Amino acid sequence: MPVPHLSCPWLGPWHPGCLSDASSDSGGRRPVPSGWYYVDVTSDPSKAARRRVAAIDCGTNAIRLLVADTVPGGRTGYGPIELVDVHREERIIRLGEGVDATGRLTTGALDRAWHALADYVAVIRATGADGVRMVATSATRDAENRDQFVEMVHATLGQYPEVISGAQEAELTFAGAVAELSPGAGPFLLVDVGGGSTELVVGAGPGELTGAVSLDIGSVRITERLLRSDPPTSGEWAAAQAWVDAELADGWRRLAPGPVKTVLAVSGTAVTVAAAVLARRLDTRTPHHLAEVEVDEIDAVTRFLARANRAHRASSPWLHPGRVDVIGGGALILDRFARLVAERTGLGKLTVSEHDILDGLAYSLL
């Protein structure tokens, strides 16, 4: 259980003094500062582990870290190995704040990203990961001053991030999401609702991707551009829905997915909506990972979010505080996608996965 980071209560970022003061026990475990808390990690991979790797994904709304061991066993699309989480974490930093309007990353957003990344570097060093891959997506792709972000990452992490295209983002996300799934569940159609973009991907399994498109709609982008009132007005919501429907219809036409057996939804938006659905069912046992949600259930959550003001949304125990102001836009995209899929394929449910681009990055290091 993490304990309060009392030695440096003012800290978001890690600094060397904190790490050097961290104690360790005979088992090689020690507390490592992560934001306002210490995270208990192990500095040595288990004897069965082949490698310990780390992946960082910096999107429009969040920056996330995965440290994982690759161990023998499991049935993944990458051979007789599986990823075992050592540490998985998300910080809401809103890197893409204002980028849709100005085309630039703000000083505040860059500072928030640095604070989180510095903590992540401490965790990576303490866990002894021998390979690291970091990518940046929509907000960084769109920003005129992306070089400032890239240089900040290099100074903090010791290597440059990859500013990847929407197609690369889709491929890595698909690889991470389907690796643990049975090939018999394919073909798969995947949606990844991000802060600045939404990816649609179709394929039979890892390494068997047959199509991908990236759309310039996301929870942050749609909120900043159209859903400005609290709660959104009926006119704002209608305009947002029309924009989403047009983008999804164009994406579907370009993707031409063909027969699909399983529809996957990844991202913080999808997991949040799944959590809301499970709460509405009074289901406290089903894990969010690989939870199945019906189209009508997604619609019910989306309609609630369309009517609720910020205070009402913030009181929902299933909603991360950093997503309170943008979850309505994200849920709208997911809802309209689910309806489109139901109309075109007859599939009336989505499977929500917590495995995504982070896992794809980790697998790519093997």
- Tell me which DSSP letter residue 4 carries: B
Task: Please report which confidence band the pLDDT of residue 78 belongs to, taking 50, 70 and 90 as the band edges.
Answer: low
Q: According to the model, what pLDDT value does residue 207 have?
A: 81
Q: Is the pLDDT of residue 99 over 60?
A: yes
Which of 67-81, 100-114, 189-203 has the lowest average pLDDT? 67-81
Span between the terminal Cα atoms of the chain, in Å: 30
Q: Do 350 and 265 contact (CB within 8 A), yes or no?
A: yes
Q: According to the model, what pLDDT value does residue 12 have?
A: 34
Q: What is the pLDDT of residues 139-179, one digit of tens each?
A: 999 999 999 999 999 999 999 999 999 999 999 999 999 99
Q: In what order do the strands lie in the sheet with 262-266?
A: 209-215, 198-203, 188-193, 262-266, 349-353, 291-294
Collapse the DSSP code of 214 into the 3-class scheme (helix H, G, I; strand E, B; otherwise coil) and give the result. Answer: strand
Mean of pLDDT over the chain = 88
Residue 21 and residue 138: Cα distance in Å, rounded?
Answer: 38
Residue 358 and residue 205: Cα distance in Å, rounded?
Answer: 17
Task: Please report which confidence band the pLDDT of residue 39 belongs to, taking 50, 70 and 90 as the band edges.
Answer: low
Q: According to the model, what pLDDT value does residue 255 have?
A: 96
Q: Do 134 and 95 contact (CB within 8 A), yes or no?
A: no
Name residues whose C-beta falls within 8 Å of residue 282's C-beta, 6 or more positions apart in sequence. Answer: none
Domains and CATH numbers, the chain: 16-164 (3.30.420.40), 167-358 (3.30.420.150)
Q: According to the model, what pLDDT value does residue 42 have?
A: 56
Element housing 134 (H / E) = strand 131-136
CA dihedral 245→246→248→251, nearest 10 degrees, is 170
